[in-house]
Amino acid sequence: MKISKLLLGFFALAIFLVGCAADDTATVIIENPNGGNPTNPTEPTDLEIGGTLTEDLTLETGTDYNLTSALIVPEGITFTINPGVIISATSGADVYVAVLQGGKIMAEGTSTSPIVFTSNSTTPNAGDWGGLILLGKAPINSVSGGDATSTSEIGGLPYGGSMVDDNSGIIKYVRIEYSGGAADASSENNGFSFYGVGNGTTIEYIQAFEGKDDGIEFFGGTVNASFISVVGSQDDSIDWTEGFTGTLTNVYVEHRQSHDKGIEGDGFNTDIGNNADPIFWSAPIINNITINGNGSSNENEAIRLRAGTRALFNNVLLSGFAEGFDLDSDGADSPTGQGVLDGETGVTDISFDDVILNLKNDTGEEFGEAEFFTGIGNGTGADYSTWNVGWTRN
Amino acid sequence: MREFLIGLLLLFTVPLMAQETGSITGTVTDKSLNNEVLPFANILIEGTTKGVSTDFDGLYELNDIEAGTYRVIFSFLGLETQIVQVEVKPGQTTKLNVALDATSGVELEEVVLTSSTKKESEAALLLDQKSANIVKESIGAQELSFKGISDAAAAVNKIAGISKQEDGGNVYVRGLGDRYLNTTYNGLPVPSNNIEKKNIDLNLFSSDVIQNVSVSKTHAANFYGDFAAGNVDITAKEHTGAFFLAIDLGTTVNTNALDTDFVKSEGTGFFGFYNRYRNNPYAVLLSHGVDAIRSDGNTGVSGSFASGKSWNIGNASRLSIFATASFGNSFEYREGPAVDYTTVEKKRFPNSEEYQYGRNTTAMANIVYRINEKHKIIYNSLFINDATDQASYFGTKGLGTNRDAILDTDRGFYQSNIQFNQDMIFVNQLLGSSTLSEKLKLDWGVGYNNVLARQPDRKRISVERYDLELDDDESTNGSFFSNIAYDNQRYFQNIEDSELNARLNLSYNISEKLDLNFGYNGRTKQRTFENIRYGYDFIEPNTPVGDVRNLNEVFTAQNLGTVFNTVVFNGLDPQNGLGNVNLPGQFENTYEGNLDVHAFYVDAVYSLNDKFSVLPGLRVEKFNQDINYDVINLPATDPGQREASEFFFLPSLNLKYALNEDQNLRFSFSSTVSNPEFKEVAPFVYEDVTQRIGGNPELLSDPAFSRIFNVDFKYEWFIKPSELLSVAAYAKAINDPVNLVVANDATGTQRFFRTGDQAQVLGLEIEVRKALITDEDEQSILSTGINATYTYTKQDLKGSDGIFSTTFDRDSDQLQGASPLLLNADLSYRPIFGKYKPVGNLVFSYFSDRIDALGSGQLGNIIEKGVPTLDFIWKNNINEKIELNASFKNLLNPQIERVREVESGDVALSSYKRGLNIGFQFKYKF
C-alpha cells in the first residue's frame, strides 16, 4: 500500500539523517603522568588542610601542609601560620585561602623564615591554584554604603562595609607562588586579593611570584601595605578598583615574558557603577615604586589610570616601556582627567629609563606632562635590594 | 473537500428587525453518525432569505421572526434535507431539534468529513470565544492556512495584546514576558526547548500540526496557578474525514544571506544532528579543529507530508490516524556593530557578522479512537528536532576595541564564537473524554515529556591586534589574546528534562442553570544540567594568529604541550597526578532540579438567567521545588541546595453578561502566583561573548513566589460570524516581582532578584475584525483585523541582600518587556475565480520601545527599540489538488536595535537588519 511505503521511506530517512553527521573522533587514552593508579591513591605524606574552619587553626613550623580545597576562615575564627611553613596547593582555581569578614589571619614570617604558599605540582605553572583572599568590612564604592556588601570574583564571598579601621589580621613575610587560576574571564584569582580590607590590618613584606593573573588586587578598602614585590605576574602586577584609598609604600614590580600593565587603577567597578553616596573614587597614595618592563620595543604601558581613579605618586622609577602613564576617561561618569586638574592625581619625582612616551592623555581634559609630573629625573624608586634579601624569590 | 469548504463558508446572518416576533432554537445532529452534533448546517425559512447556520455545537437560533407558521428547511451537503413545519408565537421561543440522515447517493466518507467539529475555522473559534466563560482568543488551522501563517508564534502574534520578540519565538502577552506565561499542548504542560526560557519556542509548532492555538488571558481554576499574563494552548491536529495525503516542497531565501559564503560548525549534519555526543569532549577537542566550514549553499529548502485516514469499526467505533512530518532549513545573515557598554565602553566591534543556519524537523502522529458516542481516546506523539548553527565574528575589519586588551586597547580586538545548539523534544500524551451519564462528563490526559537540549563544542577565539593581519605588512602579526586560558575555549553543555503530567476534569451538570467542575492537575518535572569547558593556555605570550578563519593548524593534538596547554576547571584526580592541564576533566557545573505541582480545583458555571452567568472557582495547589547544585565559584559555606514548599489557595471569579445575542460584558478576577524557574535559581553562570547570566538560589527563600492579582473587564460585540469589536481593560498587581539585573559583584554578572515590593500593570486593548467587501453569499472577499494595546507599567525598586546583592539608583521604573504600545493588523483579500482561489494577506505588527534589561547600580536600562514588521503572503489554489504559494516577509526590513540608556544619550549595543525572507512553496493533495 502506498501509505506504508511512504512511512517506510520516512523511517529510512530518519536513519539517514541521523547518520549523515560526521564523527571521526579519535579515542583518547589517558596515562597517569605520575604512574600512580587513580583508583588506588598513594597515601598523602603532608598534612591536608581545607574546608571551612570551625575552630582556630595554627600551622606549625616544621610541618608541610597540603591545601586540597578552599580553606575558609569564617567570622570569629583565627588562622595562624608560624614562620617557615610551606603550604603547597593542589591544582584548581577553587583551591584558595579566604579570610571572611570578621575572620583573622595571623601569618607572620620572618626575613629568613618566610611563609610560602605554592603549587604542589612537580612542574609548577602560573595559575595552578587560587591564591590568598582577604575580605573585610571597609568602604567600597560599588554599593551605596552602610553594611551593604558586594560579592567577590572568586568564591562569591561578601565584602565591604563602613569600618575604615577593620582588622583582618597580619600578613608579614609571605610569598605566594604560581597562583591566579581563573574560573572565567571575569572571575580571576590573584596572588593577594584584598576585598574591602580595613587599615587595622597589617600588610608588610609580601611577594606575588609568577602568578597567572594580577599580583595584588585591591577591591576598595583602606588597607595600607608596604614592601611589596610582584615578579612575573602575567596580568597586571598591581590592580585597584572600587574605591581603594590605602597607601602603598616601597613597591617593586618586575615583568617577565608574559604580562599586562604594571599598575591598572580603576576608580570604580564599571560593571555596576559608582554607587557610593556620597560618591568617592579610588585614591591611593604610592610612595617609592619601581616598575621594570621588558624594553620599550615591547609595546606596553607601565601605569594605566582610568574610570575616574585618583592617585598620588611619589618617587617613581619606570624602565623599559613604550608608555609610562596612560590616562583614560571612559565617559562623563569616570572623570579621570578631572582628578589631575583638581590636584588629586599627579606624580612627584619620577625617572624614565627606556620609555618612549611618558604620558598618554586620553581623558579629554587639557593637561600635559608639565601639569602631571613634578621633578622628572628625580625618581629613584623602591630601592628593592635593601629589603628583598632572604624572603623573596627571583 | 471543495464542497466542505463551501459548506463551511455558507454562513448566513440574521437580519435585525420587527416587534411582534418569536424565535426558533434547537440542535441539529447527524443521524448517520450516532447523532453527533452537526456544525455549519444551514437553516432557512422557506420563501424568505432568513437563515442561519449551526454553531460548532450544532446549536442554532432564529430570532425576530414574525409570529406565524413556517416551513423551515434544514440542509447540509451530503445529508438529506429535511423540511419541518413550525409555529412561531410572539415573545416565545420554539424549540426544534432535528436529526439529518445520510442520503443514499453520497459516499459515507464525504458525510464524515462534513460532520467534523474541528475548531479550526475563524467563525467557529469566534463562536467559541463568544460562548466561553473566560476571556480567550484563538486562531485555528483554517485561519492559519488562509493567512499563510507558518507556525504558532506567528499565529499568536495576530492576537490582541501579544507581541513577539525579534529573534526567536519569545512571546509577550500584555507586556509580560516568558516567566509570566505558560504553554500547554492539548491542555498538558509542554517543556521548553531552551534552558533560558520557561516556554517552548512557538516557532517549533509548524501550522501542519496545529488544529488551533488559543491564548487565555484570564485565569480559571483549571489552569496551573503559575499564571500572570496568559496561557497559550496548542491543540494538536486530529483527523476526522476521508483519507488524504498531501505533500509540499518549498524554498526560502534571505536577501542578506544570498551574497554570502555561508559558514557553519564542522561536524553537524544537514538535518541538524550531531554524531559526537558519545565521545568524551576532550577527545572531540583533540580530534577536531575550531574552524567553521562552508555550508552547502545559502538557500533554504523545506518539505513535508501529511496524511490521515479513518476507519469505522463496528457500528459505533471509529479510528482516525493523522501523521505528518516536515523538514525545513533557513539561512540568515546579519552584520552591524556589537558593543558591550556598562557605565563605560568595555568592548566595541564596529563590524560583526553572524551566520545563522537553522534546521527543524517535526514529526507528529495522532490516533483518535472513538469507542462510541460516549467515549473517546486520543494518543498523541510529537517529536521536534530544532538545531541551529551559529557562526559569529566580531571585529572583522580590525577596528574592534577592548578596554582590557593587553597589547592595544584602541584597535584590533577580534573574537569569534562558533556554536551549535540541538534541542530534541519528545512529547507523548494519552487523552480521553467520556460521557458517564447525562449529567457527568469526564475529561482526562496523561503526558510524558523529554527534552535533550545540547550545546556541543562551542568554540570561542580571542585575538589582539587583528589589524596587523589585515595590513599589507607581512612581518607584523595579530596574536591570540590570552589574559586567561578561557579567552580561547571549547564548551560543552547538556540539559535533560523529563516530566510526567496529568489532568482530570469531571463536569457535573446539576441543572440547566448549574454546572460544576471538579478536577486535578499535576506535574512532576526533573532537570539535570552539566557542562564542561576547556581553555587553551598559550605557552608563549603573543602567539601569532595568522588567518583567523583557518586556525585548525594551530589547535592540533601535536601542538598540545608545545604551543598551548589545555586547562579544565575540575581535574580528574588532582591529588593523584591527574590535574587540570592537558587532560580531560570532570564537569565544571552540574545541577538537578525537581518540581512537583499537584492541584485540586472546583468551579461552577451558574447561569442566573439567559444573560448572566457566574463562574466562581477555587484551586488548591501544592507546590514543591528543590534544586541541588555543584557549581564553581560559590561560597564554600553555601549548602549547595535549596527547597521551597508552599500551599496556594487561588480563588477566581469570571462573570459574563450578555447584553444581547451578539454582545457580552465580561469581568474577571483571579489571584495567581509566579514561581521561579530552575535557571533563575541555579547559581550557574553562563558566559556569553558580551554578557554573563546566572541564577540566584535565594529566590526560593522567603518569599519563594510572587503573589499576583488580576482584574479584567471586557466588552465584546460579535457583529457577524467573522466580525468582531472588543474592548478590554485590565489591571494586575505582582508582588515581589523577579527581574534580571546586574548583581553587586566584582564580575558584572546578571542575576535574578526580587527587586521590589510590587509591580503594577494597567492596560487597554481594542480589537476590530471587519469584512470590508463581501460577495453575494456573505463571504468576505476583503477583510481586515486590527488590534491595539496600550499598557502602563510601574514597579518599585529596592536593593536586596543575600549571597548576591544589588542596588538601584531610582525608586521605580517600567516593567521589563512591557511595550507601552502594541499594534497588530492584517488585511486579507480572497477572491474566487471558479476553481482558482488566491488569497493575499498583508500582515503588520509593531511594538514600541521596551526595557530588555533593567539597569541596577549606576547602569542605565537596556532598551529594545520598537520594530515594525510587514509580511505579504500569497496563496494560490490553482485547482483542488495544486497550490502554489509565495511569501515575502519583513518587507520593511527595519533596523533591529538594542541600546543602553546613558545620561548623555543612548549607546547602541547592537544594530542590524534581518533582510527580506522570500519563499515559494508547491503543495499537492493526492
Residues of B in contact with A259 (CB under 8 A): 541
- Note whether B343 contacts A34, CB cutoff 8 Å: no
B691: pLDDT confidence band, cut at 50, 70 and 90? confident
Span B820-838, pLDDT tens digits: 998 989 898 988 887 788 8
In the predicted model, is pLDDT for residue A332 greater than 80? no
Mean pLDDT is highest, among A139-143, B44-48, B159-163, for A139-143
Quick one: pLDDT at residue B148? Answer: 64
pTM (two decimals): 0.85
**Mean pLDDT, range B321-328, rounded to an integer:** 93
Question: For residue range B598-642, what is the model confidence (pLDDT) as tens digits?
Answer: 999 999 989 888 889 999 999 999 999 999 999 988 887 789 999
For residue range A262-315, list pLDDT tens digits in order.
999 999 998 888 999 889 999 999 999 999 999 998 778 999 999 999 999 999
Interface test with A, best of B858, B901, B925 (most A CBs within 10 A): B858
CB contact under 8 A, A151 and B805: yes
Task: State the pLDDT at residue B262.
Answer: 94
Other beta carbons within 10 Å of B512: 7
- Kindly report, residue by residue over B749-803, the tens digit of the pLDDT: 899 999 999 999 999 999 998 889 887 766 778 989 898 999 999 999 998 888 8
What 3-state class would DSSP assign to B576?
helix
Residues of A with Cβ-Cβ distance to B569 under 8 angstroms: 92-94, 183
Residue B1: predicted pLDDT: 38
**B573: distance to nearest CA of chain A, Å?**
7
Pick from A237-241, B6-10, B542-546: least confident:
B6-10
Q: What is the mean pLDDT of residues B293-316?
A: 90
A229: nearest Cα among A104, A79, A381: A381
For the segment B168-186, the average pLDDT, to the nearest whole number, is 81
pLDDT at position A57 over 90:
yes
Question: Which positions ≥6 away from A300 have C-beta within 8 Å?
Answer: A255, A259, A260, A261, A293, A294, A321, A322, A323, B406, B407
Residues of chain A contacting residue B276, judged by C-beta atoms under 8 Å apart: 23, 25
A36-50, B442-456, B869-883: the lowest-pLDDT one? A36-50
Q: Which residue from B284, B634, B692 is facing A186, i.e. has the nearest CB?
A: B692
Model pLDDT, residue B14: 29
Picking from A35, A92, A144, the nearest residue to B807 by CB comes out as A144
| Confidence class for position B113, pLDDT limits 50, 70, 90 | very low
pLDDT of residue B906: 92
Q: Which of A145-149, A182-186, B250-254, B555-559 has the lowest mean pLDDT?
A: A182-186
Work out the pLDDT band at A20, boundaries 50, 70, 90: low
What proportion of chain B, given as a percentage, has pLDDT over 70? Answer: 92
Phi, psi dihedrals of residue A364, rounded to the nearest 5°: 85, -10
B-proximal residues of A, 3-22, CB under 8 Å: 3, 6-7, 10, 17-22
Q: Do B294 and B262 meet the contact criterion of CB atoms below 8 Å apart?
A: yes
pLDDT for residue A93: 86
Lowest mean pLDDT: which of A55-64, A99-108, B125-134, B593-602? B125-134
With contact defined as beta carbons under 8 Å apart, do B443 and B505 qualify? yes
- Dihedral pair phi/psi, residue B152, rounded to 5°: -65, -30
Other C-beta atoms closer than 10 Å to the C-beta of B594 total: 15
> Are A178 and A128 spatial neighbours (Cβ–Cβ below 8 Å)?
yes
Residue B652 CA to residue B872 CA, distance in Å, equals 41
User: Which pLDDT does position A361 carry in this prediction?
Assistant: 94
pLDDT at residue number B722: 73
Confidence of residue B119 (pLDDT cuts 50, 70, 90): low
- pLDDT > 90: percent of chain A: 69
Residue B135 has pLDDT above 70, yes or no: no
What average pLDDT score do residues B731-759 get? Answer: 90
Considering only residues B44 and A105, tell me which one the structure prediction assigns the higher pLDDT: A105
Residue B300 has what pLDDT? 94
pLDDT for residue B133: 67
pLDDT confidence of B213, banded at 50, 70, 90? confident
Q: What mean pLDDT value characterizes chain B?
A: 86
User: B565 Cβ partners below 8 Å, 6+ apart?
Assistant: A125, B485, B536, B537, B539, B581, B582
Question: pLDDT category, B146, cuts 50, 70, 90?
Answer: low
| Residue from A15, A97, A184, A298 whose CB has the most chain B CBs within 10 Å, to mutate | A184
Q: Is the per-residue pLDDT at B19 higher than 60?
A: no
Tell me how far CA of residue A335 lies from CA of A221, A325, A362, B659, in angstroms: 21, 16, 11, 66
pLDDT given for residue B574 in this prediction: 81
For residues B104 and A152, give the distance between their C-alpha atoms in angstroms, rounded to a whole number: 83
Give the Cβ contact number of residue A58 at 10 Å.
11
Q: For the segment B650-678, what is each residue's pLDDT rounded down to a tens digit?
A: 999 999 999 988 899 999 999 999 999 89
